[in-house]
């Protein structure tokens, strides 16, 4: 499988769905602000992971584009709110001005709210899935996005500024802030694809490892990444005095940790055989991630 082709085709599916779905029945300027950030691009990693996970358990991942699109809406809302002056106060995201710089703080806040709430409407439009399974997947996404997942992790991140965290504290923070939505994507995709309990266990373990590796590489990029390539400022963690894998262990050790975690993630998928190859290739992509 050629990874670029896979990412491009699956990303195009999600983009097409979002383009058609968002803004339907618009009654206010908030829809324009919502589409501004959704249309800014991005890797579409979470929705692609959901579809790849469904592929890995023997289903057709592209059948689940509605749920995948909902995941991307939630991710985009989190970025809009993350960039606000009251949070990280960033001016650029995905190579363009952040939402609040274009539409103002209040409209950006509402754009994030709109994407989060409408995401659940969009996910529940998914066809061809047992309603009980779909409800369980949506419940999983809600839990991973909420106060015991991404939102809770973001709160820990804010309250941890100017503190030197232990490794355990940092793991707890990142498992929630970053890792939870990867679990939602991978476990959710496997559930939609009809995975048995043992396969779900494997996929959840893989998702946790993938999320950890993603965070470590994110910390590395914040130190040595090119802002023009990333489409956002570098050194933001240092500016906000946040504990990272780099600040805790140094750059070389962080690279070693990322490589070891990625190796473990890849090995976890071995029992699934060839069907998991897209997930394997996406995992390998993190080794040389630039943005």
Q: Where are the domains of the chain?
A: 1-286
Q: Is the pLDDT of residue 111 over 90?
A: yes
Position 286 scores a pLDDT of 87
Indicate the pLDDT class of residue 95, thresholds 50, 70 and 90.
Answer: confident
Tokens linked to 10: 């699956």
Q: How many helices (H) and strands (E) does the chain have?
A: 16, 2
- By C-alpha distance, which of 12, 71, 16, 46 is closest to 279? 46
Average pLDDT of span 56-75: 97
**254 band by pLDDT with thresholds 50, 70 and 90:** very high
Q: What is the mean pLDDT of the chain?
A: 93
**8 Å CB contact between 199 and 59:** no
Q: Domain 1-286 has what CATH class?
A: mainly alpha
What value, to the nearest 5°, has the Cα angle with vertex 34 and ends 33 and 35? 95
Encode 27-63: b = buried (16+ Cβ within 10 Å), e = exposed.
eeebbebbbbbbebebbbbbbbbbbbbbbbbebebeb
The residue among 222, 246, 77, 225 whose CA lies nearest residue 170 is 246
Among 93-107, 117-131, 167-181, 228-242, the range scoring the smallest mean pLDDT is 228-242
How many C-beta atoms lie closer than 10 Å to residue 279's C-beta?
26
Q: What is the pLDDT of residue 188?
A: 98
Per-residue pLDDT, 3: 83
């Amino acid at each position: 499988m050629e990874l670029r082709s896979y990412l491009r085709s699956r990303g195009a599916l999600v983009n097409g769905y979002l383009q058609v779905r968002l803004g339907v029945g618009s009654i206010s300027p908030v829809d324009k602000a919502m589409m501004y950030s959704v249309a800014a691009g991005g890797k579409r990693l979470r929705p692609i992971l959901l579809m790849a996970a469904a592929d890995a358990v023997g289903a057709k991942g592209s059948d689940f584009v509605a749920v995948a699109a909902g995941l991307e809406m939630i991710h985009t809302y989190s970025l809009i709110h993350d960039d606000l002056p009251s949070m990280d106060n960033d001016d650029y995201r995905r190579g363009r001005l952040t939402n609040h710089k274009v539409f103002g703080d209040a409209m950006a806040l509402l754009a994030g709210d709109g994407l989060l709430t409408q995401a659940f409407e969009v996910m529940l439009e998914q066809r061809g899935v047992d309603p009980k399974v779909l409800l369980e997947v949506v419940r999983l996404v809600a839990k991973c996005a909420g106060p015991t997942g991404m939102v809770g992790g973001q709160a820990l991140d804010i309250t941890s500024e100017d503190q030197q965290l232990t490794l355990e504290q940092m793991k707890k923070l990142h498992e929630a802030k970053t890792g939870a939505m990867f679990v939602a994507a991978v476990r959710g995709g496997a559930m939609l694809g009809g995975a048995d309990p043992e396969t779900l266990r494997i996929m959840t373990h893989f998702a946790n490892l993938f999320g950890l590796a993603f965070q470590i590489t994110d910390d590395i990029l914040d130190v040595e990444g090119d802002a023009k390539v990333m489409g956002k400022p570098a050194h933001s963690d240092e500016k906000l005095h946040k504990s990272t894998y780099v600040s805790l262990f140094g750059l070389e050790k962080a690279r070693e940790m990322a490589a070891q975690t990625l190796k473990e993630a890849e090995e976890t998928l071995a029992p699934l055989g060839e069907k998991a190859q897209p997930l394997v290739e996406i995992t390998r992509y993190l080794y040389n991630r630039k943005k």
